[in-house]
Structure 1
Amino acid sequence: MTDMAETDDRSEAIVVECELEADPEKVWRALTVPELISAWLDVPAADEVSADTSGPAYRIVEALPFSRVRYAWNDASASEPESFVTFDLEAQPGGGTWFRLTHSAESGRRIGGAANSNSPPIMARAA
């Protein structure tokens, strides 16, 4: 697995890239099926109604089948405006998926460093 985690000061974004063994269709499911998103990202499914609104929440704002998904992300406990998390997927010759996650803020707002910036990114496998 090849990976990279960086903070791009020019665009105020956090970028994580790696190659996944799963094909883009399987990764796509993990990013777009509410129950799988909930399990993978440890957030309530977008269609769940919950009395607890103190944690992170997301909504899908862009979806290009098997190649890109973009969430508007809001962490109510941080009292910050929403940011955006974009997942770009690219099929690899011989199988697998090149995976790129970009977490970006609105113009003029900085995002803190990746929680796992001292080690390679950790991701659960797609269901």
Structure 2
Amino acid sequence: MTADTPEIRTVAVERDLPFAPEKIWRALTQPHLIEEWLMKTDFRPSVGEAFTFTAQWGAVEGKVLAIEPERSISYSWNAMGLESVVTWILTPTAGGTRLRMEQTGFRPSQDQAYHGAAAGWPRFFDGLERVLAGLD
């Protein structure tokens, strides 16, 4: 990194889950399931598709950037001055799936957003696990 390039920070959360990648993929890409653990959305898992996540505090505008079905998905996550990218990576394991989420793009001046994401994503993961436990 050069001296005039600001440091970009990333929030990462990784968990080993006792669910097949196919099941987790459904919860990451189907709007009615996303709403149960993240936010209301009009998400469609297709590269180039724009979508919105909405919550009481406001909205996140996004666009699907890349998809490898049941393996990874990346989308932009733009809200309140933050322009970031969220990437989900699913890796099959003997007991289920290792799920990793990275949100990158936090500038040094976005300390509040960075710490909010660092605190919020583990709670979203908890909600995701509850949704997964209830799926057939």
TM-score (norm. length: structure 1): 0.69
Q: 1:89 is matched with which residue?
A: 90
Return the alpha-carbon distance in structure 2 between the equivalents of residues 72 and 118 of structure 1: 19
Match of 2:42 in 1: 45
Give the SS at the match of 1:14: strand
1:103 aligns with 2:100: no
In structure 1, runs of 5+ residues without a counterpart are: 1-9
* Aligned counterparts of 2:121 and 2:87: Cα–Cα separation in 1: 18
Q: 1:39 to 1:45 in 2, by over 3 A?
A: farther
Q: Which residue type is aligned with residue 103 of structure 2?
A: H
Q: Which moves more between the two structures, 32-41 or 102-111? A: 102-111
Within-5 A mapping of 1:1-127: 12-46=9-43, 54-75=58-79, 78=80, 80-93=81-94, 95-105=95-105, 112-113=114-115, 114-116=118-120, 122-125=126-129, 126=132, 127=135
- More helix by proportion, 1 or 2? 2
1:73 is displaced (CA, Å) by: 0.9
Amino acid at match of 1:122: D
Indicate the structure with greater strand content: 2
Q: What secondary structure is seen at the aligned counterpart in 2 of 1:66?
A: coil
Q: Quote the Cα distance in structure 1 between the aligned partners of 2:30 and 2:89.
A: 16
Tell me how far apart the structure 1 counterparts of residues 90 and 122 of structure 2 sit (CA, whole Å): 24
Distance 1:108 1:88 in 2: 25
What stretches of structure 1 move > 3 A for 4+ residues in a row? 106-111, 116-119
Q: Deviations over 1:83-120 (max 9, x none)?
A: 11100001111x3110111000177775512125899x
Unmatched runs of 5 consecutive residues or more in structure 2: 1-6, 45-50
Identity, in percent, stands at: 28
User: Helix, strand or coil: the match of 1:46?
Assistant: coil
Contact 1:85 1:103 (C-alpha < 8 Å) held by counterparts: yes
Aligned residues: CA RMSD:
3.3
Which moved further from structure 2: 104-113 or 60-69? 104-113
Shift in CA distance, 64/57, structure 1 to aligned 2, threshold 3 Å: same
The normalised TM-score by structure 2 is: 0.65
Return 109-118 or 13-22, whichever deviates more.
109-118
Change (3 A) 1:91 1:117: closer
